[in-house]
Structure 1
Amino acid sequence: MEKTQRKVEHIYSQLQHHNPLDSGGEFLPFMLVSKGKRLVARLLPFLKHDTALKILRIVTSNLPTLMSRDTEEALPVLYPPLRNVIGGLTFSQLIRVLKDLTAESLTTYESLTLACQNKFGLSLLYALLSQGEKLLSSGVPLEPSIGDFETWTDIIFQVAGQLSQCSLVEPLLLPSNLLTLFCRYLDKRTVHQLKSNMESATGFLALPS
């Protein structure tokens, strides 16, 4: 394990030497090609949490670019390791990642529309929302930063509005607790529309857990 860890850290340091973009996006050029996506996917399980979180934020911050350039549809290879990273997020970390995903680089709704029309993008969004519901229902103190709950509520309404209006692709995985989450905040009519859209995309019932 020590040998593997040293090798992983060496590869990571080599990737960091290539930084043609600002804002810490040294991994973005590698993830624009399928071999780079596979390399990052293999590295992620061995990286420390803070480093893996940094890569997750690079992905969410640049999701429209990654999706538009994914001609070989290789992005799904990143989903399993990134879902594991998401499963270890605190509430405040989750809020920061969701803010990256819904940032107005295009506009909030254009960015969300693109995500909802992409198998990887929608799956990543579902995984983030599912983690939020797990944290909220766990009974463990969330220790939020100032404004986290307000931001979370705003994002839920933004995402719900988009999911209920657009035609969804089939996700890689549909978490069973999403409707439970939406029932916390939304009226029955909106929840019914969300349920209908999710079921039409997946071909099976989106039942709450």
Structure 2
Amino acid sequence: MVGTLTAMVAIPMFILNSLAGIVGGIWLIYLGEWKLVVAGFLVAVAAPFWASLLILPGLLFAVPAAAALERGDGVIGTLLASLTGLWSYGVVTVWCLAAFWYVPQHWHRGEPIFPFLLFSYAVATGPWAVVAQKDAQSGGGEAARLTTSGACIGSALFMGYVLLSRRPDFMTAIWFVIVPMALMFLFSVFAVIVDARQQARRQRGAW
């Protein structure tokens, strides 16, 4: 289920993910914003460390959630897993919104806004893409890929709204990030419920 959903947005997101940081960064350097680009680069390099620290509190529920699901207690397991996911999605959402708030603060009238939005997108999504890739290399990462997909979709919609709106408003734009992230979170909860039911059936079959 997760693989199917992420595959639907894989190609356009891959193109945007590949070009946003490079094109936006080079453009910003041309505009004289090299300090902003260096800061964004350092954030991306250190992402596996600080992103893991931000996610860590939510993982306190992960072990008891897995144990509950393993013994067939689907309600408790789903609840604890949902708390883990809620923390992760909350952290990523706040980070994305912070990136789209901070980077454009360096924009000045008369300058094109597009490179600032591209770089905002890269700063918002890049760290989580790195974390998801590392999780995948360790043999997991479905949850991280789903969270990253939500961040990419929401950030792309945020960017599109700002570009297409005559008078973009930040308080309106945030919903373009919040809604996709909320939907991805609900989808992840649904996936946990399905897995819990399958686990319960397997246990009943074993008896």
Tell me if both proteins adopt one fold, taking TM over 0.5 as the criterion: no
- Larger RCO (CA under 8 A, 6+ residues apart): 2
TM-score (normalizing by structure 1): 0.27
Q: Which has the larger radius of gyration?
A: 2
TM-score (normalizing by structure 2): 0.27
Q: Which has the higher helix share?
A: 2
